[in-house]
Every structure is written in C-alpha cells, then in structure tokens.
Amino acid sequence: IAGITQAPTSQILAAGRRMTLRCTQDMRHNAMYWYRQDLGLGLRLIHYSNTAGTTGKGEVPDGYSVSRANTDDFPLTLASAVPSQTSVYFCASSEQGLGNEQFFGPGTRLTVL
C-alpha cells in the first residue's frame, strides 16, 4: 500500500508555462487537500475537496485550479506559472469527521524561473 503519492518529486519551470502536479491516494479517503509550504509561513491551504466531484478554495487559491474526477486523484494545475509560486507543494488526504488526521504525500519541490 503506497498511501499517498505525488509526482513529480521536483520540477524547474519557466514562468508562463502550465504545470500540473499529480496526487493519488489509495486509502479511499473522501477529503483531499493541497498546501504550499514556504519558509517562515508554514503550510497554507490552496484548495480542498470534500468528496469526488466537489472542490473548494483555501487560503491562497489564486493562480491554481484543481479537479476531483474520482476519489483517488486530486491534480493541482498552475495555468501560467509565476516565480512567486516557487514552493514545496504537499497533497494530503483524510477521512471526513472530527479528529481524523490528514496524511501527507512526500511533496513536490517546484521552482519557477
């Protein structure tokens, strides 16, 4: 059982390019999340999904979009990357309900030049 996986592990991207970060979980969790982590700012929520077919905006959604076509996959797309989107991106999933912790993927380190 892999848990939650992300791809790519790292990427260097030219500004203005489109990029999709992939996230897949095999735990059948209903809820999934995308965070970015920047030094001194901690983890900030970009988008989330309660269940397949639904998505919502987090704290810093601008410049990002997500889709949730099925339970397992939750891709994050940068339509036109900018240098301020250089960050480490973590995908997470959890069961719905109080007290259920989020499980995190290994992260994607993205550099936008």
Given the rule CB under 8 A, which residues bind other proteins?
A: 31, 33, 35, 40-45, 48-50, 56, 58-59, 90, 94-107
Q: How open is the CA angle 32-38-40, to the nearest 5 degrees?
A: 125
* Nearer Cβ to other proteins (11/102): 102
* Nearer Cβ to other proteins (49/85): 49
* Nearer Cβ to other proteins (58/75): 58
Distance CA 101, CA 93 (A): 8
- Residue 46 neighbours by CB distance under 10 Å: 24
